[in-house]
Structure 1
């Protein structure tokens, strides 16, 4: 762990006091309180062939008002799990204006970013998620997503960018295949759930540790509770 990662870890627990308070008051996540989860097939030579994909807005529980959007993915194989978290803005500096630069009416109308650095196979990389569809319909954000899923057109491309060579390649293609009624609170997504060797790196990533832990501690253990 580098010095900056240690500082991020410490600062994250101070931030976690705030996230815990908001989570307690909302009885849900501070950010991304409600979502829709799908099971997905994964075409990849690096990652497992099954995943859960959660679509959510950052702030509003039920309203489709201007907001940042997020996609959380859990790849799994046996007892091994790897989470990757994405947002509709590329830098923390854009957080405050993210509702203004996000197409909040359509999950598949945005690119999504890992917003931080990762290490895989000894290389420092960044990740981007690029939705792909051939047909566009009118309707609410949820209706559009349901249409894409039902027509088997909901496809996500996972891109990896090497931070030295700047080479970008598609390392996985995900296709949504079934809607899941899984208990979303019990999922507990975390950037540090990394059994498959994609390791978060840098101050920003370690800032999440305390913020996530205290926020998860303060909210319900299950959406059924």
Structure 2
């Protein structure tokens, strides 16, 4: 563990009790409390080595939770939207993770320093009219240090209704697709965003929110979060989840 991660753990430990108290008060997650869960099919994109092996590891089924960071009650006010993805080894859908699963968390936020502008630039009326970023670097087995994001097709800007209704319409039309992309940071690899897989959002599913707990350090496919910002998350998420458990 590097110095940045040690400091991040310390900062997260200090912040943790505040997130726990918020979760207890809200009877839900401190952040991203309201969302919709979807079953997805993950199809690798044809690419070249060394990206091929990573793309093939992603293939299969996934659970995707699209959420709002701040507001509840369906309010479509300025906000940060989130996309949590669990790549599953088992096709049986469950709120609980299985051995070998991989969680990756994204938000409509390129970096923590862009938090304020992101509240204004996020298209809160349509989950599929945004790109989602992994915020901080990861170590990806076979590629080394890299950044990750999800991009949207933005296939139809004429959808109407609430963001939930627009999402359902897009799924019905076969246009609810997110592309998983990687930006390598190692020498010898192209420093451009490379598509690895497409996530076809198929069906809305209802899961127990108490049992559904995404863990940014669940790394069954060899995608490991690194650095200061990710290190903050570990104690913060633990405290927030414990706060939810007291009810």
Bin the TM-score by the shorter chain. over 0.9
Partner in structure 2 of residue 59 of structure 1: 70
Correspondence for 2:209: 184
Equivalences for 1:60-99 in 2 at 5 Å?
A: 60-62=71-73, 63-78=75-90, 79-99=99-119
Secondary structure (helix, strand or coil) at the match of 1:97 reads: helix
Q: How many angstroms does 1:97 deviate by?
A: 3.4
Aligned residue among 122, 125, 133 for 1:105: 125
Equivalent position SS for 1:185: coil
Equivalent pairs, count:
222
Alpha-carbon distance in structure 2 between the residues aligned to 1:86 and 1:180: 20
Distance (Å, rounded) in 2 between the aligned partners of 1:199 and 1:114: 11
Q: Classify the secondary structure of the residue corresponding to 1:193.
A: coil
Tell me the residue number matched to 1:9.
9
* Contact 1:28–1:220 (CA under 8 A) maintained in structure 2: no
Deviation at 1:133, TM superposition (A): 4.2
Name which of 141, 148, 160 aligns with 1:127: 148
Distance apart, 1:168 and its partner CA: 2.3
How far apart are residue 160 of structure 1 and its match?
0.3
User: Is 1:151 aligned to residue 173 of structure 2?
Assistant: yes
1:167 to partner: Cα distance: 3.4
Unaligned stretches of 5+ residues in structure 2:
45-55, 91-98
Return the TM-score normalized by structure 2. 0.86
Cα shift at 1:185: 2.7
| CA RMSD across the alignment | 1.4
Contact 1:112/1:128 (<8 A) preserved: yes
1:207 partner SS: helix
Structure 2 contact 129–154 (Cα < 8 Å) conserved: no
- 2:235 is aligned with 1:210: yes
The structure where strand makes up a greater share of residues is: 1
Q: Is the 8 A contact 2:147 2:184 kept in 1?
A: yes
Q: Which consecutive segments of 4 or more residues in structure 1 shift more than 2 A?
A: 133-136
Unpaired stretches in structure 1, ≥5 consecutive residues: none
Q: Which residue of 2 aligns with 1:47?
A: 58
8 A Cα contact 2:57 2:221, kept in partner: no
